[in-house]
Amino acid sequence: MLKIAIVGATGYTGLELLRILSCHPEVEITIVTSRKEAEKKVREIFPFEEKFGELVFEEPQPEKIAAKAELAFLCVPHGAAAEMAKALLERGLRVIDLSADFRLKDPLLYEEWYKVPHKAPELLNEAVYGLSEIYADRIKTARLVANPGCYPTASLLPLIPLLKARLISPEGLIIDAKSGVSGAGRSAKLRLIFCEVNEDFCAYNVAAHRHTPEIEQELSLAAGEKLRLNFTTHLIPMNRGILATIYATPLIFKEKTLYEALYDFYVQKTFVKVLPLGEFPHTAHVKGTNLCLIGLKLDSRTGKLIIVSAIDNLVKGASGQAIQNMNLMSGFLEDTALKRRALYP
Ligand SMILES: NC(=O)c1ccc[n+]([C@@H]2O[C@H](COP(=O)([O-])OP(=O)(O)OC[C@H]3O[C@@H](n4cnc5c(N)ncnc54)[C@H](OP(=O)(O)O)[C@@H]3O)[C@@H](O)[C@H]2O)c1
């Protein structure tokens, strides 16, 4: 059994790891951390948690974690993750970081967007970007995986194959994305309380969302040239789910060719499904699953390719993909514990 630590186990992504890993036959969670709930049992905070309910939350101290675990999931805010990752790697653990700390390769870009200097820039080259379907080979041997952001996962999965195949232009890409409220985490914030969110729908961080440089970094790699794009995020009054509507300029004006290129790229992949032409995904169809569902249409009137992509932000957008990466790193079947039906309706 692989011994697992969840650092930041009282947050939404930590809790989602507990939920999914409780069905994983090859791992044992040996330590969970929380500063606020330290010394309480997991079941005191989450009474529904049966398998790991008797575990006791501990302070996030690297020595304690290293004494009990071989692989750690970091479910903590950016900044805190870099320091913890460094301390755990030095003690021989493998690390999957769900925060943004190791996603950007350029520490100055990190400082520009996250407004703090990077706390472990020497690890940035080693960190493998954990977009499982694209970087599986590198993930398999990684010590440190930078799990992608939720919006980037929904955006990159459809766009990378089309850019690599030179079927769409790197110029003029527009990503219009909506997220459920759990995307902002479990700590209390005024703008996220029920009356502020319920029956409301708004754009936020317009032209300034921190996932922008992450998406641009990965799409630039796929395109083989530096690109910039418009990325607008919206908060939608539901618990989970991301829907990204993407507008691209095709370089070939044949819907069937564009469709087949994307379909063929993912046909052997368990978790990315390109829907039949004319069908588009719903967030309810991926809720609780590790799936990314994609639909596309070429608008013959305007010449734009419109792609719609849906994920559950807490599963394929965070903890599910992190477990997929752990499976790859550990030689387990890639879909172990991850083949779940949607929680539909
Ligand atoms: N929510 C999503 O959909 C999503 C998707 C992709 C990636 N992510 C990223 O994943 C990470 C976790 O997200 P989340 O939504 O689970 O956050 P969250 O609900 O706010 O939970 C954060 C967890 O980290 C702990 N924590 C906070 N500050 C800490 C610190 N300085 N040192 C150690 N532990 C600390 C908290 O417990 P204590 O305060 O009690 O220690 C809590 O358990 C974030 O970096 C987030 O950006 C989130």
Contact 88, 120 (CB under 8 A): no
Direct distance between the N- and C-terminal alpha carbons of the chain, in angstroms, rounded to an integer: 35
Domain count, the chain: 2
Residues 170 and 288 in one domain: yes
Given a cut of 90, is residue 345 above it in pLDDT?
no
List, for residues 322-341, the tens digit of each pLDDT value.
999 999 999 999 999 999 89
* Ligand 1 neighbour 314 (Cβ under 6 A): yes
pLDDT (average), residues 288-299: 98
Residue pointed to by tokens 């759990």: 182
List, for residues 68-121, the tens digit of each pLDDT value.
999 999 999 999 999 999 999 999 999 999 999 999 999 999 999 999 999 999
Q: Using DSSP, state whether 207 is helix, strand or coil.
A: coil
CA 140, CA 135: separation in Å to the nearest integer?
9
Give every strand in the sheet of 202-204, ordered side by side: 202-204, 230-235, 174-179, 242-248, 304-311, 292-299, 272-274
Q: Using DSSP, state whether 34 is helix, strand or coil.
A: coil
Q: How far is the CA of 74 from the centre of ligand 1 (A)?
A: 8
Q: Domain limits at 45?
A: 2-126
Residues 237 and 166 in one domain: yes
Ligand 1 atom nearest to 60, measured from its CA: 33
pLDDT (average), residues 114-133: 98
Whole-prediction pTM: 0.98
Domain CATH number, residue 275: 3.30.360.10
Contact 327, 333 (CB under 8 A): yes
Closest CA to 183 of 98, 96, 57: 98
146 in any annotated domain = no
148-153-159-165 Cα dihedral, nearest 10 degrees? 50
Residues 81 and 192 in one domain: no
Find residue 298's DSSP bridge partners. Answer: 305
* Ligand 1 neighbour 14 (Cβ under 6 A): yes
